[in-house]
Amino acid sequence: MDCYTANWNPLGDSAFYRKYELYSMDWDLKEELRDCLVAAAPYGGPVALLRNPWRKEKAASVRPVLDIYSASGMPLASLLWKSGPVVSLGWSAEEELLCVQEDGAVLVYGLHGDFRRHFSMGNEVLQNRVLDARIFHTEFGSGVAILTGAHRFTLSANVGDLKLRRMPEVPGLQSAPSCWTVLCQDRVAHILLAVGPDLYLLDHAACSAVTPPGLAPGVSSFLQMAVSFTYRHLALFTDTGYIWMGTASLKEKLCEFNCNIRAAPKQMVWCSRPRSKERAVVVAWERRLMVVGDAPESIQFVLDEDSYLVPELDGVRIFSRSTHEFLHEVPAASEEIFKIASMGPGTGVFSKESQKADEYLREIQELGQLTQAVQQCIEAAGHEHQPDMQKSLLRAASFGKCFLDRFPPDSFVRMCQDLRVLNAVRDYHIGIPLTYSQYPCQLTIQVLLDRLVLRRLYPLAIQICEYLRLPEVQGVSRILAHWACYKVQQKDVSDEDVARAINQKLGDTPGVSYSDIAARAYGCGRTELAIKLLEYEPRSGEQVPLLLKMKRSKLALSKAIESGDTDLVFTVLLHLKNELNRGDFFMTLRNQPMALSLYRQFCKHQELETLKDLYNQDDNHQELGSFHIRASYAAEERIEGRVAALQTAADAFYKAKNEFAAKATEDQMRLLRLQRRLEDELGGQFLDLSLHDTVTTLILGGHNKRAEQLARDFRIPDKRLWWLKLTALADLEDWEELEKFSKSKKSPIGYLPFVEICIKQHNKYEAKKYASRVGPEQKVKALLLVGDVAQAADVAIEHRNEAELSLVLSHCTGATDGATADKIQRARAQAQKK
């Protein structure tokens, strides 16, 4: 335990700082760091080095080299820099490398040195060149701030959504500021700059001079300034070797320190952790590193090599040509346990291995602090870098846990899980030295997975997902999809192999979108591969947009139809309509009945002419005929037009070998012409009546001759004519004519209808006339209709028909029919006897 705290350095009374090695660097650098432009991403991110950046046109043969390494110094990419001179490098929050060129162009590279895109910081920058640039991170993303040759600042708060803002001028600024930085307050980025003894704050409206409260007198210039990771604190280094530390709002001073070194430091960064009371600043010169805080003494380290500081959320990473170290404040839990002469409960549990363990434990238990002790051990384990130490602490926690009744196990379990993940990604080969405060406290598992995917560490990412039992959609399938997207970019592998490999790995894992992968393949110019991949997409609807994009419209059409989504089919149809000539379009439709009927429906309401063309194309004469029939009464008004439409229809029906329809249509033409003539000659309304109604109207109008002529012309069957006349004459109540008609010849419909119709018109007298002429089968019914129950009974008895007898009997109501009823009963009885 003594040796454990050996690297603890106290700062003041309350805090310890320790520095431990993360990696010994693997990168075998030839140059000194100071000869390179360096950028290291926070959260254990990659390091970019641009060698020889300042040799300009003079030695064109020696191009600068851009190298990207992991935090452990494993090379990730290396490329010759062929663009213009670079002023500054920086990493975005998505781990993209932003290279700010002198001409204001910003080139964006991926982690593997793949060029992504570029953007410009505006014309003004182009003219005045870039003097200095900073890449900074806010909650909106990563921003770029630029100081131009004209001593003006231009800023973009989010490079993903580029909006350039030119900051106002600083009055009387003649030379470049001695130092400057970007502050982010109230979600707005400001620039703080120092000119001689003055500080100015630029926001997008104005420039205001500011003075830090409690600043020691005698300052003639500021040499360095540093903002904390969270933009909450600010440190200023003056030419008197005096360091002011306060809030970034410049409203409050935290402390000050005088180091008596007047040389400008190489770097100055904050070193604090979330929720820690202690705040310290790390200042680095060529060979010296100093940690200063609210204490009279500082901690000093000697730097053997040229080093570079990377501020982190909870400490500072320091790397040089040979090592990579981490400097941070010892977390409270560790301090409680390990501090010399510590009385914290955790200490007791941790020392269980000594002989007095039992005694200690009992003591803690009596104090009721065992729960707290166990928790401290768990937490302290999280902050340890060495697995051995993590294990010891966890073992201690687990031992202490045994003496507790109801200690919720999840914090312990979760810590074990988190540490396994952390140890895995800290591994030398992976090289992401995250601390417990960074993951899982700050970064989520999703971000961590994204970073692994970005480094193409798919197997590890999947193992982590499986280990943490993440739902497939969030975990494994997302990673597989990324893997597949990477896979399709491997141009040296054949389409078949790629498709097969992808399908083998992905199978039908839920949440994997084959269409996304196919889109990526198409983006790489591999259309055939994209189509192969789309075959695996189970939702046909998803396949369609990409197929359309790839100009595989016909395939898209069949996929759309498969999906059952008619809107999708319609989208493809319109696409096809514009893409193909009419003939081909119709041919395509012809092979797809579902699409055809959909399009027909649309045409019926919106494009009638197209509908006709469609039928024409298909030689669908039947439908064409129907089309013209409809036109004959819907579209045409003049009689000639209507007849002409009917004629076209009839021709079409003949072609369709539908003689019946053709004949019917021709009849209609004749009828129309005739009706027209009737209207001319007789007046009244005839047009558009059916044949039946035309004849009826004629009879009602007293034009019997013409009616009969019409009946002959159109070969109206006798039966219909009789019904028709009967109804019409009865409606007219022309009883005389009716009687004449009934006697004209033998009725083809019998005489019962005559009886019925008279009764309907309440003319019993006339009805009786016909009742006698009704044939024997219907006689009873007729007699009953005219109310002659007695005679009906006679006939029924004569017929010896049981059904008729009951029918008559059911009509025997009233007193008068009593006799008849008896008669029927007698007849029945007689019939039964026989």
Partner 1 sequence: MAFPHRPDAPELPDFSMLKRLARDQLIYLLEQLPGKKDLFIEADLMSPLDRIANVSILKVRSLSLRSCPSFLFEQLCFLVRPRIKNMRYIASLVNADKVAGRTRKYKVIFSPQKFYACEMVLEEEGIYGDVSCDEWAFSLLPLDVDLLSMELPEFFRDYFLEGDQRWINTVAQALHLLSTLYGPFPNCYGIGRCAKMAYELWRKLEEEEDGETKGRRPEIGHIFLLDRDVDFVTALCSQVVYEGLVDDTFRIKCGSVDFGPEVTSSDKSLKVLLNAEDKVFHEIRNEHFSNVFGFLSQKARNLQAQYDRRRGMDIKQMKNFVSQELKGLKQEHRLLSLHIGACESIMKKKTKQDFQELIKTEHALLEGFSIRESTSYIEEHIDRFGSPRFFLPVLRLLCLLSITENGLIPKDYRSLKTQYLQSYGPEHLLTFSNLRRAGLLTEQGPGDTLTAVESKVSKLVTDKAAGKITDAFSSLAKRSNFRAISKKLNLIPRVDGEYDLKVPRDMAYVFSGAYVPLSCRIIEQVLERRSWQGLDEVVRLLNCGDFAFTDMTKEDKASSESLRLILVVFLGGCTFSEISALRFLGREKGYRFIFLTTAVTNSARLMEAMSEVKA
Under the rule (CB under 8 A), what is the footprint of partner 1? 510, 539, 564-567, 570-571, 574, 593-594, 597-598, 600-602, 605-606, 622, 626, 629-630, 633-634, 660-661, 664-665, 667-668, 671, 688-693, 696, 714, 716-717, 719-720, 723-724, 727, 749
* Least separation in angstroms between CB 727 and partner 1: 8
| Residue among 119 and 723 whose Cβ is closer to partner 1 | 723
| Residue among 673 and 720 whose Cβ is closer to partner 1 | 720
* Least separation in angstroms between CB 597 and partner 1: 4
Neighbours of 622 (CB within 10 A): 16
Residues 617, 609: contact at Cβ < 8 Å? no
* Least separation in angstroms between CB 598 and partner 1: 6
Q: Where are the alpha helices (DSSP H) in 683-788?
A: 691-700, 704-713, 718-732, 735-744, 752-760, 764-771, 776-786
Handedness of CA 298, 299, 304, 307 (dihedral sign): negative
Which H or E element spans position 147? strand 141-148
| Residue among 797 and 808 whose Cβ is closer to partner 1 | 808
* Least separation in angstroms between CB 510 and partner 1: 7
Q: What share of the chain is helix, strand, coil (3-state, %, to 5)?
A: 45, 20, 35
* Least separation in angstroms between CB 233 and partner 1: 45
What amino acid is encoded at 61 in this protein? S
* Least separation in angstroms between CB 686 and partner 1: 13
| Residue among 181 and 747 whose Cβ is closer to partner 1 | 747
Unique residue bearing structure tokens 């469609």: 614
Distance CA 534, CA 401 (A): 54
* Least separation in angstroms between CB 476 and partner 1: 15
Distance CA 768, CA 15 (A): 127
| Residue among 392 and 696 whose Cβ is closer to partner 1 | 696
Unique residue bearing structure tokens 């100093």: 290
The pair phi, psi for residue 559, each rounded to 5°, is: -65, -40
* Least separation in angstroms between CB 795 and partner 1: 21
Quickly list DSSP for 308-322.
Answer: EEEEETTEEEEEESS
| Residue among 554 and 720 whose Cβ is closer to partner 1 | 720
* Least separation in angstroms between CB 565 and partner 1: 6
| Residue among 119 and 654 whose Cβ is closer to partner 1 | 654
| Residue among 158 and 727 whose Cβ is closer to partner 1 | 727
| Residue among 390 and 742 whose Cβ is closer to partner 1 | 742
* Least separation in angstroms between CB 664 and partner 1: 6
Distance CA 598, CA 808 (A): 61
Q: Which residues contact 287 (CB under 8 A, 6 or more apart)?
A: 302, 303, 304
| Residue among 72 and 543 whose Cβ is closer to partner 1 | 543
Query: Sheet of 288-292: strands edge to edge?
Result: 267-271, 280-284, 288-292, 299-302
Neighbours of 301 (CB within 10 A): 19
| Residue among 127 and 597 whose Cβ is closer to partner 1 | 597
Distance CA 396, CA 384 (A): 14
- The distance in angstroms from the start CA to the end CA of the chain is 130
Quickly list DSSP for 246-279.
Answer: EETTSS-EEEEEE----SPPSEEEEE--TT-S--
* Least separation in angstroms between CB 626 and partner 1: 5
Distance CA 577, CA 579 (A): 6
Vertex 763, ends 760 and 768: CA angle to 5°?
105
The CA-atom distances, in angstroms, between 184 and each of 42, 95, 315, 316, 563 are 17, 20, 20, 20, 50
- The two tokens of residue 233 are 């604190």
* Least separation in angstroms between CB 608 and partner 1: 12
Three-state secondary structure call for residue 4: helix
| Residue among 434 and 646 whose Cβ is closer to partner 1 | 646
Residues 169, 207: contact at Cβ < 8 Å? yes
* Least separation in angstroms between CB 731 and partner 1: 11
* Least separation in angstroms between CB 833 and partner 1: 25
| Residue among 253 and 676 whose Cβ is closer to partner 1 | 676
| Residue among 405 and 637 whose Cβ is closer to partner 1 | 637
Distance CA 503, CA 494 (A): 14
